[in-house]
Amino acid sequence: MTIRIFAYSRSWSRLSSAGAMLQRVGSVFFLASVLTGCSGSEDEASRSESKRASSPTSQSNSKTAPPADTQALAAPARWYKQENVSRGGALFAEHCAACHGKRGEGAFTWRQLGADGKYPPPPLNGTGHAWHHPFRVLGGQIKSGAPGGQGNMPTFGDRMSDEEIVDVIAWFQDRWHDEIYAQWWQIEQRSKQ
The string of pLDDT tens digits covering residues 179-188 is 999 999 999 9
Is the pLDDT at 25 greater than 80? The verdict is no
Is residue 2 assigned to a domain?
Answer: no
Mean pLDDT of 39-60: 40
- In-domain check, residue 18: no
Tell me what percent of the residues of the chain surpass a pLDDT of 70.
Answer: 62
CATH number for the domain harbouring residue 172: 1.10.760.10
Q: What pLDDT sits at residue 148? A: 81
pTM metric for this prediction:
0.66
Average confidence score pLDDT of the chain: 74
3-state helix, strand, coil in the chain (%, to 5): 50, 0, 45
Q: Is residue 162 part of a domain?
A: yes
53: enclosing H helix or E strand: helix 42-53
**Domain membership of residue 33 as a residue range:** 27-53+73-191
When pLDDT is cut at 50, 70 and 90, the band that residue 74 belongs to is confident
Amino acid at 76: P
Q: Give CA–CA dist 25/123, Å, rounded.
A: 26
- Predicted pLDDT at 73: 65
Residues with Cβ within 8 Å of residue 65, at least 6 apart in sequence = 55, 56, 57, 59, 127, 180
Decide if 15 is inside a domain.
no
Question: Is position 12 within any domain?
Answer: no
Average pLDDT of span 83-102: 98
| Nearest Cα to Cα of residue 56 among 180, 152, 190, 184 | 180
Number of structural domains, the chain? 1
Residue 61 placed within a domain: no
What are the residues whose beta carbons fall under 8 Å from the beta carbon of 178, sequence distance 6 or more? 30, 33, 52, 75
Residue 59, in any domain of the structure = no
Query: 93 in a domain, yes or no?
Result: yes
> Taking a C-beta distance cutoff of 8 angstroms, is the pair 76, 182 a contact?
yes
Residue type, 103: R
